[in-house]
Amino acid sequence: MKSGMAIVVGIVAVAAAAGGYYLGNRHAPAPPSPVQASGPAAAGEVKKEKKLLYYRNPMGLPDTSPVPKKDSMGMDYIPVYEGEDEAPAAGGLKISTDRVQKLGVRTQLAEKRALDRVVRAAGRVEVDERRLATISPKFEGYVERLLVNATGEPVAKGQALFEVYSPEIVSAQREYVIATRGVKALRDAGTESRAGMAQLAESSLLRLRNWDVPEDQIASLEKSGEARRTVTFRSPVSGIVMERKAIAGMRFMPGEMLYQVADLSSVWVLADVNEQDIGLVRKGARAAVRINAYPDRRFEGVVTYVYPTLKPETRTVQVRLELANPGHALKPGMFAQVELAAGGGGKVLAVPVSAVIDSGVRRVVIVQAAEGRFEPREVETGERSADWVEVRSGVKEGESVVVAANFLIDAESNLRAALGGLGGAKPADSPKAVSHQATGTLDVLGANGAVTITHGPVPSLKWPGMTMEFTLANPAVAAGVKPGSPIAFEFVERKPGEWVVTSLRAEQAAPGKGATAPADAHKGH
């Protein structure tokens, strides 16, 4: 019994000793290793967690929150940690690598290249004036019968259109018949008599031909010797009856237009080219034409004439294109969007169009100075192609420019800049641009920032309603707005004759009312 108690006491003692050893080692600091002991700042190498400062607006607006939050579009506010809210010493903007990835930042090198320049203009389909025929009798008479009596009806060349009765034509036919019989009767008479009668017959025949009496009717008159009561007028071309003024039984005077027929196998497109672009257009240049009625079709044409005058109301010059029209798909009066190929020059320093942030007053490019460091720079742009734009100053060849998420970087730079300017420039250094407002319809949304808008009157400019081409300050201005939508927009004049849309929003008609209500806003920088 005593021995059993002794065993139990021994086990408890051993367990207590082991537990004490464990607890002592758990709470006591481990002896430093030789490597740790040799470091003078070993304690400072312990990684500290960054302190969360606040949450900021994801679009760069001056709005912060101490707690997680979403903006009006459902986007999460971005956390800002200690040290991240400080701008880099060398200027510009510092963004961590993980945030660069989250933002979807993409860059591309600025390089020298030849720009395939394209001039865009709005136009309309017109009848080829050289293929337009007017039927106007040269004598007085009456419309006896209509053989084609509907406008828009197709006719073939030589097809009978209408018959007329004219006392003058009947009289001239009889004179010719009498004269030809007289020539035969005076066959054995003197030379002078025969010559006089032949001259009478010739003058009668000439009068019939001058009055455009058909040759088959004259031949029938010579053969039968009988004057016909009516004269048949035929279409001089194959085409469409564009206008019909003739009415059965009506009296007409010499030179009065009764029918008009147009050959629509080839048509014109009259394009209104902006004043600043007219120097790029050359006769013989190829052109691509798109029609709203056929969004999937592309028509090819050639510049045949550049008109010598300018329209002062719109500051545009008309350019005439000639297009083949098989199947008469192109109808006079249709609106057209024209892309004119402009002669390209040598290689120039260029960046992608998406790299340029255009506020309408100045243009900015975000340059990646180093890994995670970005520098907004004001640039001077030149000629444009569909995807590239010339940069005359502000960027060097081989520098990386941001082509995706640059608007977010720009917004953050504006938020952090002490004076609100980009690249260290003060807002006071930029000229004030006068903004104009208007409403209308977005007709065409181009791929390179060009849009065509049919707008109402602009009181601030004393403009009447018209259709004209604008340039978007940046692609995000028209995000979500589809062609054909009613819109309200603001625009400025960047330079003489160049109008830039800085704000555009779709509008939708209120139920049962003609007024419109704004749907969504997409403002440019």
Q: Tell me how far apart the alpha carbons of residues 239 and 259 are, in angstroms, rounded to a whole number.
A: 12
Residue 94, both tokens: 């510092």
Residue 219, both tokens: 């031949």
Full strand arrangement of the beta sheet holding 259-262: 132-135, 259-262, 239-244, 154-155
313 SS3 class: coil
CATH 3.40.50.1820 fits 118-128+264-341, yes or no: no
Strand duo 52-56 + 363-370: pairing: unpaired
CA atoms within 13 A on the CB side of 237: 18
Give start-end residues of each CATH 2.40.30.170 domain in the chain.
118-128+264-341
Q: Dihedral of the CA atoms 422, 425, 431, 433 (nearest 10)? A: 20
Residue 344, both tokens: 């390209």
DSSP result, 107-162: EEE-EEE---BEEEEEEEEEE-GGGEEEE--SS-EEEEEES---TT-EE-TT-EEE
The topology under which CATH files domain 132-262 is: OB fold (Dihydrolipoamide Acetyltransferase, E2P) (2.40.50)
- For tokens 């240049």, the residue is 285
User: In whole angstroms, what separates CA 72 from the centre of its chain?
Assistant: 31
Q: What is the DSSP letter of 343?
A: P
pLDDT at 523: 40
pLDDT at 263: 93
- State the CATH class of domain 106-117+345-429: mainly beta
Residue 374, both tokens: 């970005």
Give start-end residues of each CATH 2.40.50.100 domain in the chain.
132-262
pLDDT in tens, the chain (525 residues): 444 434 333 433 333 333 443 333 444 444 443 334 334 444 444 445 777 877 877 665 556 777 888 876 677 888 877 655 444 444 466 776 777 776 778 888 888 887 777 888 999 999 999 999 999 999 999 999 999 999 999 999 999 999 999 999 898 888 888 888 887 777 766 677 777 778 888 888 888 888 888 888 888 888 888 888 899 999 999 999 999 999 999 999 999 999 999 999 999 999 999 998 888 888 888 899 999 889 889 999 999 999 999 999 999 999 999 999 988 999 999 999 999 887 656 788 888 888 888 877 778 888 887 777 888 888 888 877 778 888 898 898 888 888 886 666 666 565 555 334 444 444 444 445 678 999 999 988 877 778 899 999 999 888 898 888 888 888 778 888 888 889 999 998 877 778 888 888 888 654 544 434 333 433 443
pLDDT at 29: 42
Give start-end residues of each CATH 2.40.50.320 domain in the chain.
436-523
Q: Tell me how far apart the alpha carbons of residues 230 and 226 are, in angstroms, rounded to a whole number.
A: 12
pLDDT at 256: 94
Closest CA to 317 of 266, 267, 280: 280
CATH 2.40.50.320 fits 436-523, yes or no: yes
Q: What is the DSSP letter of 329?
A: -
Phi, psi of 465 (to 5 degrees): -65, 140
Contact criterion met (CB below 8 Å) for 147 and 168: no
Residue 364, both tokens: 């900015």
Q: What is the DSSP letter of 219?
A: H
Q: Which residues contact 209 (CB under 8 A, 6 or more apart)?
A: 215, 218
pLDDT at 84: 56
Work out whether the CA dihedral 281, 384, 471, 428 comes out positive or negative.
Answer: negative
Give start-end residues of each CATH 2.40.420.20 domain in the chain.
106-117+345-429
Burial of 404 (0-12, 13-18, 19+ CB in 10 A): middle
pLDDT at 424: 42
Phi, psi of 141 (to 5 degrees): -175, -160
pLDDT at 37: 39
